Amino acid sequence: MFSLNQFFHAIKYALHVTSYENIFLKVKQYQVLESVLLKRDTIGILATGYGKSVIFYLIPFAADYLFKNRNTENGNIVLIITPLNAIIDDQISILQKHGIKATVLRADTITSTTNKSDTEEIEDEVETVSGGNFEENVALTDLKLNDDTTTLSIKEGKFKIIYSHPEAFVSCKEGRRLLMSSVLQRNVFACVIDEAHLVKEWGLDFRKDFSKLSQLGSLFPDAPFLVLTATAPKHLQQELTKSLLLNNPRVIVANLDRPNIFVHKCKRLPASSGEESFRSILLPIVNELKKKIRYYPLTLVYLPLKWCGYAFKMFLEEMGEKSYFPIGDRRPQNCLFAQFHAPQTQSMKDEILRQLQGPDECRSIRVVFATIAIGIGVNIPDIRHVVHVSVPGTLESLYQEIGRAGRDGKPAKSSIYYNGHDISSNKPGMTHEMRRFCTDDQQCLRKIILDYLGSPSHTRLVGHSCCINCAKNCNCSSCQVQMNDTTADIVKSTGKEDDVPVLRCVSNGQRVEIRRLMRQYRMQLGQRGRHIGGIDTRTGVTLQLIELIVQKCEHIKSASDMFTNFGIWDMEHAQSLYKIINDVCDH
Instruction: Tell me the per-residue pLDDT of 248-294, one tens digit each, with 9 for 90 and over.
Output: 999 999 889 998 899 999 999 988 888 999 999 999 999 999 999 88
pLDDT for residue 354: 82
Write phi, then psi, for 145 (nearest 5 degrees). -70, 150
Residues 329 and 270 in one domain: yes
Residues 516 and 580 in one domain: yes
Residues 378 and 433 in one domain: yes
Rounded Cα gap, residues 426 and 418, in angstroms: 15
- Asked if the bond preceding 326 is cis, omega within 30° of 0, the reply is yes
Rounded Cα gap, residues 440 and 436, in angstroms: 6
Assigned domain for 295 exists: yes
Assigned domain for 531 exists: yes
Residues 330 and 393 in one domain: yes
Pairing mode of beta strands 261-267, 42-45? unpaired
Asked which of 74-83, 214-223, 488-497 is least confident by mean pLDDT, the reply is: 488-497
CATH of the domain at 407: 3.40.50.300
Question: How many C-alpha atoms does 567 have within 13 Å on its Cβ side?
Answer: 10
Residues 237 and 268 in one domain: no
The torsion region of residue 381 among left (phi > 0), alpha (psi -120 to 50) and beta comes to: alpha
Residues 175 and 235 in one domain: yes
Q: Which of 526, 534, 478, 520 is nearest to 503 (CA)?
A: 478
Assigned domain for 52 exists: no
Q: Which residues have a Cβ under 8 Å from the Cβ of 41 and sit 6 or more positions away?
A: 224, 225, 226, 227, 246, 247, 248, 249, 250
Residues 380 and 287 in one domain: yes
Q: Which residues have a Cβ under 8 Å from the Cβ of 101 and sit 6 or more positions away?
A: 95, 158, 159, 160, 161
Assigned domain for 501 exists: no
Residues 526 and 423 in one domain: no
State the average pLDDT over residues 138-146.
48
In the chain, the number of structural domains is 3
Residues 362 and 268 in one domain: yes
State the average pLDDT over residues 445-464.
83
Residues 202 and 311 in one domain: no
Assigned domain for 253 exists: no
Percent over 90 (pLDDT), the chain? 35
Q: Which of 67, 219, 75, 95 is nearest to 158 (CA)?
A: 75
Burial class (CB in 10 A: 0-12, 13-18, 19+), 228: buried
Residues 201 and 319 in one domain: no
State the average pLDDT over residues 375-386.
78
Boundary (domain end) residue, out of 247, 277, 302: 247
Residues 235 and 299 in one domain: no
Assigned domain for 48 exists: no
Assigned domain for 414 exists: yes
Amino acid at 530: R
Assigned domain for 431 exists: yes
pLDDT for residue 566: 65
| Between residues 69 and 192, the one the model is more confident about | 192
Range of the domain at 138: 67-111+122-247
Boundary (domain end) residue, out of 199, 214, 247: 247
Boundary (domain end) residue, out of 447, 473, 493: 447
Please give the angle made by the CA atoms of 561, 462 and 543, to the nearest 5 degrees: 50
